[in-house]
Amino acid sequence: MTDTTTIAPSKALLLMEGRAIPELFGFVAALPTLTALAPRGDGQPVLVLPGLTTSDRSTTSLRSFLKTKGYPAYGWKLGMNFGPRPGVEQGLIDLVHKLSDKHGRTVSIVGWSLGGIYARQLGKMMPDSIRQVISLGSPFGGHPRATNAWRVYEIASGQSAHDTDSHMGGAISAPPPVPTTAIYSKTDGICAWQNCIEARSDIAENIEVKASHCGLGHHPAVVYAVADRLAQPEGAWKPFDRSGFKSVIYPAPSYPV
């Protein structure tokens, strides 16, 4: 489904990443509406993973909102995300087990960019402990250099961007065996959107938003979609419903299945 010839987003889109700041202000302004409209789920634990070279501070807005909807939302507590360095894989596995044991529930994972790749891999490695996976602008398909961050990844992680089969859990393009939602933006200035979408199936879907890559963790449309996905009853996963007011905010898919 993804195109191996896809190139990185244009310089124009990269420059537009400055939208992330007004998108944060938009989130703050939209909080009363989001709080009123976003559904409340059954309170399963939610683990939120940050993107490359960011920390739990970057996911504060999303986690804080999820807590107001009754979810015990956690950061990864592994400091800055410098890629799959030694200790990251085991640290994440241990954390999922800890949260699952603490709450006596399976864990939902939301991952932003590289964090979403970790989330998908954990879904493959520990499907019995993970309820669902939601990725935000995560480039798990296509050419590994179809991103404007691949050089940063190689410097930060000490690994080649081409080394996509040695990640924890194996090849990153393979879908997890748990319900999976990929949230993406066609105006993403960091990662080619074509590489951030799932092959749709009975347990996999894509939701398009109009946002910057750096704003995906706090954009109102993303926050609502995450809350909507988390609110589904366990074992009764259904695709995102775009009817009503949501049809104006969330475009219908316009790419081959």
Residues 9/188, Cβ–Cβ less than 8 Å: yes
What's the CATH number where 131 sits?
Answer: 3.40.50.1820
Residues 191/87, Cβ–Cβ less than 8 Å: no
Q: Please tell me the total count of domains within the chain.
A: 1
CA distance 135 to 193: 12
Q: Indicate whether 257 belongs to any domain.
A: no
4 has pLDDT over 60? no
CA distance 117 to 134: 10
Sign of CA dihedral 164, 169, 175, 181: negative
Q: Distance between the two ends of the chain, CA-based, in angstroms?
A: 7
Q: What residue spans of 104-206 are helical by DSSP H?
A: 114-125, 150-157
Q: Indicate whether 2 belongs to any domain.
A: no
Residues 152/110, Cβ–Cβ less than 8 Å: no
Number of DSSP helices (H) and strands (E) in the chain, helices first: 8, 6
Q: Indicate whether 5 belongs to any domain.
A: no
22 has pLDDT over 90? yes
- Predicted confidence (pLDDT) per residue in 162-173, tens digit: 766 656 888 899
Q: Indicate whether 117 belongs to any domain.
A: yes
Q: Indicate whether 142 belongs to any domain.
A: yes
- Predicted confidence (pLDDT) per residue in 112-126, tens digit: 999 999 999 999 999
CA distance 162 to 204: 25
Q: Indicate whether 189 belongs to any domain.
A: yes
Q: Indicate whether 224 belongs to any domain.
A: yes
Q: Indicate whether 81 belongs to any domain.
A: yes
- Predicted confidence (pLDDT) per residue in 191-225, tens digit: 999 999 999 899 999 999 999 999 999 999 999 99
What is the average per-residue pLDDT within 174-179?
96
Give 1's pLDDT tier (boundaries 50, 70, 90). very low
Residue 183, domain extent: 11-249
Q: At what angle do helices 220-230 and 20-37 cross, to 10 degrees?
A: 40
